[in-house]
Amino acid sequence: PEQASAQRRWSSEVLKDVRYGDFERNVMDVYLPADRSPKTAFVINIHGGAWTQGDRKFDGKLSEYLVSHGIAVANINYRYANREETHLPELLDDIDHVVKYLADHSKEWNTRSSGFSITGASSGAHVSMMYAYTKNPDIRTIIERCGPVDFTDVPTLKYVKAANLFEVLDKMSGNTTVWKPGDPVPPAYAKTSPVAYVSKIPIMIIHGDQDEV
């Protein structure tokens, strides 16, 4: 079977609405390039939306671009953070289920079973970093696009306050206290800051040089 797979010419495919888990938003679109093999790069894309909104449809064009350059893509939705039971650990569990699903279908799709890359924009970049740094050291590369990295940084928290984003930050982190300038930084913010977990996984940081945030 492996020899036959190597000889077969694989055509480009897009698998829509693939369900990878039990929750309503555990759905992804999988883009498979032509002439792929188990050595073909495979990137998991995590959309932005302040952890509480957004959709994989935002990144459809990006996925089409990547697959046109021979890169496989899993463009995913995942659970939104909330005040109750869904915080960063649950979001990372969703990404873990994606990785396991891709590995389980690698022979069927003639794709890699490990060594995935991960990317995201804004909150999706944050989730990408936290997943690679804290949950899956086998991630090959991270491409983070304008993601927040340090919620213990006071200027960052002042921006969060000015932009009225504490509600979504608290939903993601699970924080239940109210922060004001001069107060100690809540432990939940430190625990969910990628800068605290940086490892040797190669990372590309893409950020606009006119973006003061």
Q: Encode pLDDT of 158-210 as tens digits.
A: 999 999 999 999 999 999 999 998 999 999 999 999 999 999 999 999 998 88
Confidence of residue 6 (pLDDT cuts 50, 70, 90): low
Confidence of residue 117 (pLDDT cuts 50, 70, 90): very high
The Cα 174–Cα 168 span in angstroms is 10
Q: Which pair of tokens denotes residue 40?
A: 């073909």
Q: What is the pLDDT of residues 85-99, one digit of tens each?
A: 999 999 999 999 999
The answer to whether the CB of 118 falls within 8 A of the CB of 132 is yes
Would you call 113 helix, strand, or coil by DSSP? coil
What average pLDDT score do residues 32-42 get? 97
The Cα 62–Cα 59 span in angstroms is 5
pTM (predicted TM-score)? 0.94
Q: What is the pLDDT of residue 5?
A: 54
Confidence of residue 211 (pLDDT cuts 50, 70, 90): confident
The Cα 146–Cα 205 span in angstroms is 7
Residue 11 above 70 pLDDT?
yes
Residue 2 above 90 pLDDT?
no
Q: Which pair of tokens denotes residue 32?
A: 């498979």
Sheet containing 142-145: which strands, arranged edge to edge? 13-19, 27-32, 72-76, 42-46, 117-121, 142-145, 203-206
Residue 50 above 60 pLDDT?
yes
Q: Scanning the structure block, which residue is given the tokens 């046109």?
A: 68
DSSP H or E stretch at residue 138? none
